[in-house]
Amino acid sequence: MSLPAKVSPGNLSFLEAGSVRVAPMLIGWRMYRREGDRLIGGAIVETEAYNQSDAASHSYRGETPRTRVMFGPAGHLYVYFTYGMHYCMNIVTGREGEGDAVLLRAILPDEGLDIIRARRNHRPDHELTDGPAKLCQALGVTGDDSGKRLNEGEFLLLPPRGAQPRVRATQRIGITRDTHRLWRFVLDE
DNA sequence: TTAATGATGGGCT
DNA sequence: GCCCATCATTAAA
């Protein structure tokens, strides 16, 4: 992709809706990270919604130093460290103070594949970015990126290339509370 | 193909 | 001290 230095990112105000509404809308949008003159990333194919009413959410027990950016304005990255070795990235949604975010669980990479393959230790292509921590590893995202705002240069959230794809809702993965909610959204072939 | 398990450290009770 | 919004490896079938 030959992207101009100055992109026109479009209006991200739709992120101010609640995460349960935004998470399915994000399927098909494209997340890229700019490293020098390279772009790394691709289309989002799996998301999960989290909010403060939700016992599985980091924001459930209120704002803490860790979750501060999750309670900030929409359109920022919330990155957390988990299981002693992994990072996961979220897009903050909703209104400031709500503690609302969408976890990015998987993308279909289409830019920077050589870099992604190297970072992912040359695993099979279908295992490069098919989990939240794999995605962060592939894009080189760490806790240092938490709080960064989208579409200000380094992280780009771009609209789908074609029509909005079909989306399927399922139960979320890897949580132990509020598991009944159908707040995981995947691209429906 | 699926199932079980160890790695590893910050956050919070 | 317990709990993870996980992953890669190994084992079983």
Ranges A114-118, A121-125, A178-182: which has the least confidence = A178-182
Give the pLDDT of residue A9: 57
Sequence-ordered list of residues with C-beta below 8 angstroms from that of A163, at least 6 positions apart, any chain: none
Q: What is the pLDDT of residues A71-102, one digit of tens each?
A: 999 999 999 999 999 999 999 999 999 999 99
Give the pLDDT of residue A121: 94
Q: Dihedral through CA A103, CA A107, CA A111, CA A112, nearest 10?
A: 70
Separation between the CA of A56 and the C1’ of C6 (whole angstroms): 15
Which nucleotide lies nearest residue A66, CA to C1'? Answer: B11
Give the pLDDT of residue A39: 96
Give the pLDDT of residue A6: 43
Separation between the CA of A180 and the C1’ of C3 (whole angstroms): 20
Contact A30, A157 (CB under 8 A): yes
State percent of chain A over pLDDT 90: 83
DSSP category for residue A160: -
Whether A4 shows a pLDDT value over 90: the answer reads no
pTM strictly above 0.75: yes
Banded model confidence at residue A1, pLDDT cuts 50, 70, 90:
very low
Give the side-chain half-sphere CA count within 13 A for A45. 16
Q: What is the pLDDT of residues A23-77, one digit of tens each?
A: 999 999 999 999 999 999 999 999 999 999 999 999 999 999 999 999 999 999 9
Whether A173 shows a pLDDT value over 50: the answer reads yes
Separation between the CA of A9 and the C1’ of C4 (whole angstroms): 35
The helix/strand count (H/E) of chain A reads as 3, 8
